[in-house]
Amino acid sequence: MTSSSALVSLLSLLAALMISVAQGACTTLLTTEDAQYVFVPKGLDPGLYPPQGNVPIAQLFAVGAQHYTANGTAWVLTNATADLFNSRFEKVGVHFYLPQVDPMGGQPSWKTTSPPSLVTAKRLFTVQVHTNSIAWALLKATSSEDSCGLFGDVTYVQRLFTLNGLPPSTAPTKINATFSSSYTSFYVFYKQL
Ligand SMILES: *[C@@H]1O[C@H](CO)[C@@H](O)[C@H](O)[C@H]1NC(C)=O
Ligand SMILES: *[C@@H]1O[C@H](CO)[C@@H](O)[C@H](O)[C@H]1NC(C)=O
Ligand SMILES: *[C@@H]1O[C@H](CO)[C@@H](O)[C@H](O)[C@H]1NC(C)=O
């Protein structure tokens, strides 16, 4: 083999590697098995369902906390942070609030790092299903990034099956006091058909 043909085969090997890495970037930690775990009960308050034409692509389990700050008279929700797990309990992403509300009014966000993707949404509707847990909710996406990743092109997010996460039932006594309240929930992510 001449050195130039060796170089050509090295270059084509590198090109093939780069293509497989690029394709690999489009795989997610979700399997077809995950789609079978999407469970959205029928008969909920109609406000909790996204419009027809949106289909669930994943249901992730969230373990985290709702963060509250005292404004003087009340506990105000200021952030939420959670880890997101697929049906095999592998961590696939995180939930958090953007530092600022986005131009479309969205702040709650869900993010994957590998491959990267982000969706931000605003609340459309909430209903208190259990008195000792945060509301169930429907959120509409205000922006999303990286269609290759799980959350790219997501249109709606539902928060269902919440457990705990409420602020203290007594009014705060100190301004700017903070309180983090552990919670779990499922988030269901929708895309347009
Ligand atoms: C604190 O938050 C409550 C509930 O959102 C609101 O009604 C009240 O006006 C707020 N108080 C101050 C001082 O901002
Ligand atoms: C919420 O917490 C996350 C993680 O610490 C942080 O990146 C984000 O900026 C916070 N958002 C707000 C509104 O404080
Ligand atoms: C509460 O926090 C705000 C924002 O960080 C700050 O401007 C204000 O001075 C604080 N008030 C008190 C009483 O600590």
pLDDT in tens, 134-162: 999 999 999 999 878 889 999 999 999 99
Between vectors from CA 33 to CA 29 and to CA 35, what angle results, nearest 5°?
A: 85
- The yes-or-no verdict on residue 1 having pLDDT over 90 is no
**Which residue puts its alpha carbon closest to atom 5 of ligand 1?**
76
Whether the CB-CB separation of 127 and 142 falls below 8 Å is answered with: no
Pairing of β 136-145 and β 108-113: unpaired
Q: Find the mean pLDDT for residues 52-71.
A: 96
d(CA 151, CA 138): 16
Query: Is ligand 1 within 6 A of the CB of residue 20?
Result: no
**Which residue puts its alpha carbon closest to atom 12 of ligand 2?**
99
Atom of ligand 3 nearest to the CA of 176: 1
Tally of CA atoms within 13 A in the half-sphere of 95 that contains its CB: 26
For residue 31, the model assigns a pLDDT of 61
- The string of pLDDT tens digits covering residues 89-132 is 999 999 999 999 999 999 999 999 888 999 999 999 999 999 99
Between vectors from CA 104 to CA 52 and to CA 35, what angle results, nearest 5°?
A: 40
Query: Is ligand 2 within 6 A of the CB of residue 37?
Result: no
For residue 127, the model assigns a pLDDT of 98
Q: Find the mean pLDDT for residues 160-185.
A: 96
For residue 21, the model assigns a pLDDT of 39
For residue 27, the model assigns a pLDDT of 53
Running DSSP on this structure, what letter comes out for residue 100? S
In whole angstroms, how far apart are CA 136 and each of 26, 44, 48, 176, 188? 31, 10, 8, 27, 11
**Which residue puts its alpha carbon closest to atom 7 of ligand 3?**
176
To test the ligand 3 pocket, which listed residue (69, 79, 174, 175) has its Cβ within 8 A of the most ligand atoms? 175
Torsion angles phi and psi, residue 124, rounded to 5: -100, -35
For residue 26, the model assigns a pLDDT of 57
- What residues does each domain of the chain span? 32-192
For residue 53, the model assigns a pLDDT of 95
- The string of pLDDT tens digits covering residues 11-41 is 454 444 343 334 444 555 566 666 667 899 9
Query: Is ligand 1 within 6 A of the CB of residue 72?
Result: yes
Task: Give the ligand at the shortest distance from the Cα of 78.
Answer: 2
- The yes-or-no verdict on residue 82 having pLDDT over 50 is yes
Whether the CB-CB separation of 190 and 172 falls below 8 Å is answered with: no
